[in-house]
Each structure stands twice: as structure tokens, then as C-alpha cells.
């Protein structure tokens, strides 16, 4: 098996079916592939879907008996995958017809890349919003970059949303850290994979279209999300990433200045949004991040 396509989903039946419909139209010429869907204990009708409903020759759907959240679900999919490469596709995507072929052809010819993703576009207006991302280890801020150039690949500090991982990366570097649960899981995986010699990049030849409104990605969804607990993980996991992969200079500047700056800003934004209930979660994440800094243990 060359390629395993893994979709994790929770209570988004219609988006899931639209995503699968776009995958069925994709070019897999010369590629032996399978589809694995991980349903994270949905209650909107997704739990009634069977593999025969897709229909795709090599496919299965795994229904979690209880809610595991995205990271655990991705690991379940990766462990079930038979392919040499695993492509994770969030359920709110419409993939370009040539995306899988472009990713496959590039990774076959560029052995140094263990993680690859497509350029990302908005579905509603087809405007590009991401060529690669980078994290400033002094401030902890993540930047999404857009460049129009002739480069065939952009190195990236992790890849959100849609990305390919060589199965050998899992074998050498391990799976996603399930203790992180939410934010910064992709950068954490990418930075860890670098220790084993695997690069992470995004190729503009491959494209995916994010089937959500722009305000949902850059608005309150970024601050809290579908689960209120995201507020906690956003501040805690940012500190964990800096502590794990930053230099001592990064850690000094970030911990003294910016570790507390983020929950302060989020608290201000939540007051404006009349979501004061989330403020305590941001600050709890902050204190647990500091605990990790001193003890190396995730609370």
C-alpha cells in the first residue's frame, strides 16, 4: 500500500461527506491507496455511517466508543494505516484533484522530507492563505506566510489541517504527543521529527481548500474553538513548545516577558467578547506551563 488517507471527524457529517466526495475525484494514478475515517464518537448521524456508504474499494471507518479528541484519533488512524505514507485530512477540506499525486511524487523524489503539506486556500473565494508557517521562539507567536514565488517547497514549522507523514517517521520519532491534546501538536511533531533528520515542508503545487469561513479560523475559533478547553491548551502548549525546542535565550525572553503576555491579551479579548468564563482556563494553562518549565511534567 502506497498511501493511507486518514480523516478524523466529530459531528460534521455534511462536511465529512463533501471532503470524501472530493477525495473520490482526486487523481491517484499509479498509487495504491486506502481511506480510513476516524469518527470521534459523533452524535449527528456520522456514527451511523459505514464504509460501504462511501464507497471506496479500500476503506474503513472506525467509530470511537468515547470521545478521544483529535490527537488520539490521529494516532488511531496512523496505527491502522497500511500505507508507506499517511495523509491526514481534516474533515472541513475540499482537496484539489491533483493534491495527493503532487504530494506523493514530491516525497518519492525528496527523501529528506518526512512531513509534507499542500498550499492552503479558502474554499469560498479560492484565495491562498498559507504557503508555510513559522514560530517566533522569543514571542511564541505563529505566523502564517503567503509567498508567490517559483520555489518548489517551503520549509515549515509544522503543518496544520492537511499533511503527509512518512510511516517511517512514526517508527523512529513516535506518534503525536497525546498529552498536548490540542494546539501546537503539529509543530511539536515536526520539531521532534527534525531530531531524527526529517524535514517538514509545504509544496505550492499541491492545494487544499479549507471549507470554513475566514472569520472562523482567525476569530474566536482560534481563541477557544469547538471545545472551551482549547483556551487552556493554547497557553499551556505554547510554553511547552518553547521549553522543549527553544534555546536558553528563547526560554529566558519568552518565560520572563511573553509567557504571561498571552493569557493577559486573551483575557482582554474574552472580556470584549463577553466570554469571561474562559479567562480562568487561559491562566490555568499559563500556570501549568510554568510547572512544566520547572519539572518537565505535563499537568
What does the pLDDT look like over 114-138, one tens digit per residue? 999 999 999 999 999 999 999 999 9
Same domain as 188, residue 73: yes
The set of cell numbers assigned to 215 is: 472569520
Helix 279-295 / helix 259-272 crossing angle, nearest 10 deg:
170
Per-residue pLDDT at 230 exceeds 90: no
What Rg value do the Cα atoms of the chain yield, rounded? 19
Interatomic CA distance for residues 46 and 180, integer angstroms = 26
Asked if residues 83 and 2 have their Cβ atoms less than 8 Å apart, the reply is yes
Name every residue whose Cβ is closer than 8 Å to that of residue 294 and which is 6 or more positions away in sequence. Answer: none
Q: How far is CA 279 from the centre of its chain?
A: 25
> For the chain, what is the largest distance between any 2 Cα atoms, rounded to a whole number of angstroms?
55
- Which residue's C-alpha cell is 495504491? 32
Same domain as 227, residue 205: no
pLDDT single digits (tens) 20-71: 999 999 999 999 999 999 999 999 999 999 999 988 999 999 999 999 889 9
Domain holding 171, by residue range, is 3-215
DSSP class of residue 58 equals: S
Same domain as 136, residue 74: yes
The set of cell numbers assigned to 81 is: 494505516
Cα–Cα–Cα angle for 271, 273, 278, rounded to 5 degrees: 60
Instruction: Provide the number of structural domains found in the chain.
Output: 2
The set of cell numbers assigned to 246 is: 527553544
Same domain as 167, residue 237: no
Same domain as 120, residue 187: yes
Same domain as 126, residue 258: no
Same domain as 29, residue 104: yes
The set of cell numbers assigned to 4 is: 493511507
- Which residue's C-alpha cell is 499533511? 163
Same domain as 95, residue 241: no
Asked if residues 174 and 165 have their Cβ atoms less than 8 Å apart, the reply is no
Per-residue pLDDT at 154 exceeds 90: yes
- Which residue's C-alpha cell is 519568552? 254
Query: Where is 264: in which H helix or E strand?
Result: helix 259-272
First to last CA, the chain: 39
Same domain as 192, residue 170: yes
Interatomic CA distance for residues 99 and 17, integer angstroms = 18
In 3D space, the residue among 115, 139, 112 whose CA is nearest the CA of residue 246 turns out to be 139
Asked if residues 157 and 133 have their Cβ atoms less than 8 Å apart, the reply is yes
Same domain as 204, residue 160: yes
In 3D space, the residue among 111, 208, 226 whose CA is nearest the CA of residue 162 turns out to be 208
Asked if residues 94 and 22 have their Cβ atoms less than 8 Å apart, the reply is yes
- State percent of the chain over pLDDT 70: 95
Query: Where is 145: in which H helix or E strand?
Result: strand 142-145
User: How much is the pLDDT for 215?
Assistant: 59
The set of cell numbers assigned to 206 is: 499541491
DSSP class of residue 255 equals: I
Same domain as 232, residue 172: no
Per-residue pLDDT at 82 exceeds 80: yes
Same domain as 280, residue 142: no
Confidence label for 221 from pLDDT (cuts 50, 70 and 90): very low
Amino acid at each position: 500500500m502506497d498511501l493511507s488517507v486518514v480523516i478524523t471527524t466529530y459531528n460534521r457529517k455534511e462536511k465529512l461527506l463533501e471532503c470524501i466526495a472530493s477525495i473520490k475525484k482526486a487523481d491517484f494514478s499509479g498509487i495504491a491507496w486506502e481511506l480510513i475515517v476516524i469518527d470521534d464518537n459523533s452524535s449527528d448521524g456520522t456514527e451511523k455511517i459505514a464504509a460501504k456508504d462511501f464507497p471506496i474499494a479500500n476503506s474503513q471507518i472506525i467509530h470511537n466508543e468515547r470521545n478521544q479528541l483529535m490527537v488520539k484519533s490521529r494516532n488511531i488512524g496512523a496505527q491502522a494505516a497500511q500505507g508507506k505514507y499517511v495523509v491526514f485530512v481534516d474533515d472541513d477540506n475540499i482537496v484539489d484533484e491533483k493534491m495527493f499525486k503532487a504530494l506523493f511524487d514530491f516525497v518519492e523524489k525528496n527523501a529528506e522530507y518526512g512531513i509534507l503539506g499542500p498550499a492552503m486556500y479558502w474554499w469560498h473565494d479560492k484565495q491562498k492563505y498559507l504557503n508555510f508557517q513559522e514560530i517566533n521562539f522569543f514571542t511564541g507567536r505563529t505566523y502564517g506566510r503567503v509567498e508567490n514565488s517559483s520555489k518548489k517547497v517551503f520549509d515549515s514549522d509544522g503543518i496544520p489541517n492537511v499533511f503527509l507523514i512518512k510511516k517511517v517517521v512514526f517508527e523512529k520519532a513516535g506518534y503525536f504527543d497525546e498529552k498536548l491534546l490540542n494546539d501546537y501538536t503539529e509543530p511539536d511533531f515536526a520539531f521532534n521529527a527534525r531530531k531524527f533528520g526529517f524535514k517538514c515542508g509545504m509544496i505550492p503545487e499541491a492545494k487544499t481548500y479549507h471549507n470554513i469561513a475566514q472569520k472562523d479560523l482567525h476569530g474566536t475559533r482560534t481563541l477557544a474553538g469547538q471545545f472551551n478547553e482549547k483556551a487552556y491548551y493554547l497557553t499551556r502548549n505554547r510554553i511547552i513548545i518553547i521549553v522543549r525546542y527553544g534555546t536558553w535565550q528563547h526560554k529566558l525572553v519568552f518565560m520572563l516577558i511573553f509567557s504571561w503576555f498571552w493569557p493577559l491579551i486573551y483575557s482582554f479579548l474574552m472580556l470584549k467578547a463577553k466570554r469571561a468564563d474562559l479567562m480562568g482556563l487561559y491562566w490555568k494553562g499559563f500556570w501549568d506551563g510554568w510547572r512544566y518549565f520547572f519539572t518537565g511534567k505535563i499537568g
